[in-house]
Amino acid sequence: MKFRNHPIMIARPFLVIIAFIAWIVFSTLERLVEGDLRPKDLWTGLSGHIKGDFLAYIFDQKIPSLIFLGLVVILVASLVKTFFEWKNSYINLGDHSIFYTRQGLFSKVHKEVNFTNIANVNIRTGIIYGVLGLCVLTIDINSSATANDLDYKMYLSRKNAQIIKDWVMASKTDRSDIEVDDKVPSQDLSSYRFRSSQAIGHFFMDINLFHIVLFIGAIVALISKVIAIFALINIGIIKGFLSKMDGLYDFTVKRYPDHIHINYGLFKARDFTIPIENISSVGYQKSFIGSILGYRYLTLDAIGYGNEENESRLLSLYMKDESVGDFMDRIIPEFSLDQLGGDFIRKPTFLIKYYLPLFSLIFVLVTVLVGLPLGKYWTGLLGLPLAILASLYMIFGGRMLLTETDLIIKKGILSTKTILIPISQIEMINIGQNPIYKKLGVYSLTIYKKDPQIGKTVEETGPYPIGIFDKLFDYYMNGEIN
């Protein structure tokens, strides 16, 4: 079966015109807010341009004419480029492989990948695409090089995108039964749909220091009557809220025999199919507010999940601590956080001899450099308490647990992040030991595993006493933990 990009992709260059109009609107609003332009003058000018020859006005003015001509050139070039990409780009589905061809004006790309090397197939749609019955299909390749460069992406009708997804993700025995007009029948074993109130609660519990600074900045700008800054901060806050809610609204998780299905979206609907075997780690996180209220949320790492703009790695939204176990038993029983009550290995306290001098040098130097232009040499003293806090965080803010099947890493004090990595998903380990580590009798372990954004991710445990990781080495040498 052969599928070609929908002609809608040819219209993408018109986004340049939209961006130009947006630039004019925001520039005009800024002048209005600052008082450089009066509404009456704006209306008079617009009326004159509408009644007169608009193009003549543009070409009479040097800067607008150059901008206008530049936009025309960019628009024409982009239209030609996207036309040839649309005409010469397509996907062919074979019995065991998928063939992807994309040809532009000066280059041609032809790729072939076996179905076994496809991590997952995702479908995204937005408000405009939804009205037109279209979506963006992304086929994520299970590559350790990068998680984006080798992906296939096409603009298709919802029907054709679903056909490709079903064909690729189905087993060989099921694939022969797929018809062009049919969808693969599959019954979910369990599902969980989060309510809108839970999405709003997740947003407020996940507020961080940056959001608080923005809010305080808006209040200061309002009191100081700096309306332009107040407006910009509010636009940023509103944009952040809408962007966050887009990734939380209607968050639904369904468990099937061999994969998990996740969909969500307010303005852009997203649809992910994640094979269980491709999940490299599961974890949970909780903010300072979440810790106080007794809430946490789950995350997962898998190639192709969370590697696009405004996408997260959520497996759930914030839920009560006591509800997490039941959720995991229903949705992802292959991973268990029951062992989190075990005896975690903490970093030795004698590491204060390493961290305190290091951070003292850094923070004192920075605070002195900040105070020098003001003639405030005493600011260097402010670096000492900061160095002490940073040293204590590095020692008590990380701990680790190694079981027969998993490596569990905890990070944080007030807000925490816990990662459960199956040992079988670890692709490589690396031991690091600098001269100071060697003198103190410690070393650091670096874990390499598959990552949705860059192909591989690195988790560093930090310094631990020599011998702590011997069980992990036994696994790689003997195939089991003794």
Q: What is the pLDDT of residues 14-46, one digit of tens each?
A: 666 666 676 667 666 666 666 666 665 555 555
Domain span(s) for CATH 2.30.29.30 in the chain? 1-182
Tokens 């003639």, residue? 375
Fold of the 1-182 domain: PH-domain like (2.30.29)
Q: With bands split at pLDDT 50, 70 and 90, how would you rate the model's confidence at 256?
A: confident
DSSP-assigned letters across all residues of 260-303: EEEEE-SSEEEEEEEEGGGEEEEEEEE-HHHHHHTEEEEEEEET
Q: What is the pLDDT of residues 323-352, one digit of tens each?
A: 988 899 889 988 877 666 667 888 888 889
H helical segments located in 139-294: 158-169, 172-175, 196-205, 209-223, 227-246, 288-293
pLDDT-wise least confident of 154-158, 196-200, 246-250: 154-158
Average pLDDT score over residue span 121-139: 79
Q: What pLDDT shows up at residue 29?
A: 66
pLDDT-wise least confident of 17-21, 152-156, 230-234, 270-274: 17-21
pLDDT at 6 over 70: yes
Q: What pLDDT shows up at residue 173?
A: 43
pLDDT at 309 over 90: no
H helical segments located in 316-351: 321-331
Q: What pLDDT shows up at residue 116?
A: 76
Q: What is the pLDDT of residues 450-479, one digit of tens each?
A: 655 445 566 777 788 888 777 777 766 665
Average pLDDT score over residue span 433-449: 84
Give, in degrees to the nearest 5, the angle at Cα 468 between 467 and 473: 80
Fold of the 341-478 domain: PH-domain like (2.30.29)
Q: With bands split at pLDDT 50, 70 and 90, how would you rate the model's confidence at 279?
A: confident
Q: What pLDDT shows up at residue 81?
A: 79
